[in-house]
Chains A and B, each alone.
Chain A
Amino acid sequence: MATNIPSRLTFAGAIRPGNTIEARWIVGHPMETGFRIDDAGQRILRNVITQVRVLLNGKLILELEPGTGMSANPYLTFPVTVPLTGGSVRVEWLDDAGQRGSVQQLLLLEP
């Protein structure tokens, strides 16, 4: 299912082979807990991100299952060790409503 939920992935630190940098991912997801009711008294269905997968050059390096305890617009930082030839980091997510999204950033080696 296509989605227009925005997300960003950025890196902090020098992108050099073997260097460990910090990757930061933020996604504009409402993270609806399912505990709230709307103005009409109806329960708002739970819709949180249930699965996040981080891939470095196609290889899984991190997998997590956020729950209702995480607030809206989740923000995640994790370390990435830059491979010798650079490459790319890709973050994929899936939520209760069946929406999925992904964002990819190239690890462009610094000269």
Chain B
Amino acid sequence: MRPNPRGIGIRLGLLAALLCGAAPAAPWPDNTKLSGNAFLPPGLLKLQGDVNNSPITLWLDKGRALWTDSSTGPSCQNCHGPAESLKKSAASFPRLAAKGQSLIDLEDQIVTCSARTGRLNARAEDDEVLALSAVLHEAARGQPIDVQAPPGQAAPWQAHLSHGAQLFTTRRGRINLACVHCHEQNVGRQMRADVVSPGNPTGFPIYRMSWQRLGTLERRLRACYSGVQAVLPAVGAPDLRDLELYLKVRANGMPLDGPSIRR
């Protein structure tokens, strides 16, 4: 088919207009290394900073008591000392499990430790596990995220990371969106009543207003799956750990600022 010369002319004109006119400002911030706090309304930001009124304090109080509680076996304090001594460690999850090739995040590690100290059947979203996670993340505030391949096990770690990156860019659900479409390409834009953040996992665990309680990064990721109307992965699914690894590596070097409040 012969190209339509008039059509080409219109296109050239449009291009010229775009080049000569002022370039429209990018709707998203240049800096995508932003914490979720940068997108929080002032009222919630104030609540988050107010130790006496923030609901997170309820979990922190519980966690501090649990840290030194030795009623069912050795306490966390017995092995680890004060929570502050684990701040570097808290910033380095998810990691490969000691045995095998699977990834574990900080809450998985707390569940494993809980079994060791006589608190059996603990699950990642239990109040006690969340309380300990909140205490560790509070101790690690300001610590830069530092998730690296373990020496000697680079190959399986890299496989998890690649799979996570693939999940981040794969369309899913009836809405048919990938993470990248919102959290890379439309950061700072309005999505209904909320502003899209770059999705940096610095502030977890979070007290999300709609949950009315504290929750982990895994729960937030499952909420994203639900948001795009995709099939929900099971709790603790390897896919979620791989995605978490990718998000943490993507945010490497950013300071942790959790636990925090989200809408």
Contact = CB atoms under 8 A, between A and B. Distances in A.
Contact of B55 (A12, A28, A31): A28
A72 interface: yes
Interface string B58-102: 110110000000000000000000000000000000000000000
A10 interface: yes
A72 B61 contact: no
| Size bracket, chain B contacts | 10 to 19
Given A26-B58, A28-B58, A8 B52 contact: yes
Given A8-B52, A72-B212, 15 more contacts: A6-B58, A6-B62, A7-B58, A10-B52, A10-B53, A26-B57, A27-B58, A28-B58, A28-B62, A72-B213, A73-B55, A73-B58, A73-B213, A75-B53, A75-B55
Interface of B: 52-53, 55, 57-59, 61-62, 212-213
29 contacts: A6-B58, A6-B61, A6-B62, A7-B58, A8-B52, A8-B57, A8-B58, A10-B52, A10-B53, A12-B52, A24-B52, A24-B53, A26-B53, A26-B57, A26-B58, A27-B58, A28-B55, A28-B58, A28-B59, A28-B62, A31-B212, A71-B212, A72-B212, A72-B213, A73-B55, A73-B58, A73-B212, A73-B213, A75-B53
